[in-house]
Amino acid sequence: MASYTLLEFDQLDSTSDFLKENHAYFPHMTFIRAGYQLKGRGQFDRTWQSNKDENLLFSILLKHVHTDQSHAIKKWIMLSMISFFQSYGIQPEFKEPNDIYVGDKKIAGILIESLSYEQIFDVMVIGIGLNINQLHFGDLPATSLSQLTRQSYQLSEMFRQLMQNLVRSYRDHIAST
């Protein structure tokens, strides 16, 4: 398996902001996971709401990615998230520009941000939030794996499997292009 770096925190303002602010200290394929984000966000700076220690909240740092690969990277993440949920018997759909839905309810969000120089993204940060064990979302049209399967999940083991699948599929689909 390709090498990667993993750091886990109980709480951060934002896993993506942490990586953007500290990218110089970390190598390509660094994962940052937090049990809770104080300022989690999605597309257009919308707030990402999540209960503490109930969901998977993480970001991935990629370095020196050619701009021609941006579509392939979005597709890699989208297909990986769909495959992840399918492995639990859920049939989600991707909704442009960056969400995963089951029916009319959001189960995951993806935010891809980059800092570029000419034809290379020096830094690409992919923020991902997956609703896993959270049961109540207020008025938001959202759902979770637990709501859909009526089970509770062990987040650290689930994250380990997801991270390994992401690393493996990156090597197979992106690094070879």
For 2-59, how does the pLDDT look when each residue is reduced to its tens digit (9 = 90+)? Answer: 689 999 999 999 999 999 999 999 999 999 999 999 876 555 455 567 889 999 999 9
Percent of the chain with pLDDT over 90: 71
How many structural domains comprise the chain? 1
Which H or E element spans position 9?
strand 5-12
For 57-86, how does the pLDDT look when each residue is reduced to its tens digit (9 = 90+)? Answer: 999 999 988 888 888 999 999 999 999 999
- Phi and psi at 154, nearest 5°, equal -85, 110
Q: Give the Cα separation of 125 and 77 in Å (integer).
A: 12
Dmax (CA) for the chain in angstroms is 49
Percent of the chain with pLDDT over 70: 92
Whole domain around residue 121: which residue ranges? 5-173
pTM for the full predicted model: 0.92
Amino acid at the residue 171? R
Please tell me the predicted confidence (pLDDT) of residue 46. 57
Amino acid at the residue 128? I
Q: What CATH number does residue 133 fall under?
A: 3.30.930.10
What is the DSSP annotation of 47-100?
A: B----TTSSEEEEEEEEEEEGGGHHHHHHHHHHHHHHHHHTTT---EEETTTEE
Is the distance from CB of 26 to CB of 85 less than 8 angstroms? no
Q: Give the Cα separation of 146 and 154 in Å (integer).
A: 11
Query: Residue 24: helix, strand or coil by DSSP?
Result: helix
**Residue 162: pLDDT above 70?**
yes
Please tell me the predicted confidence (pLDDT) of residue 158. 95
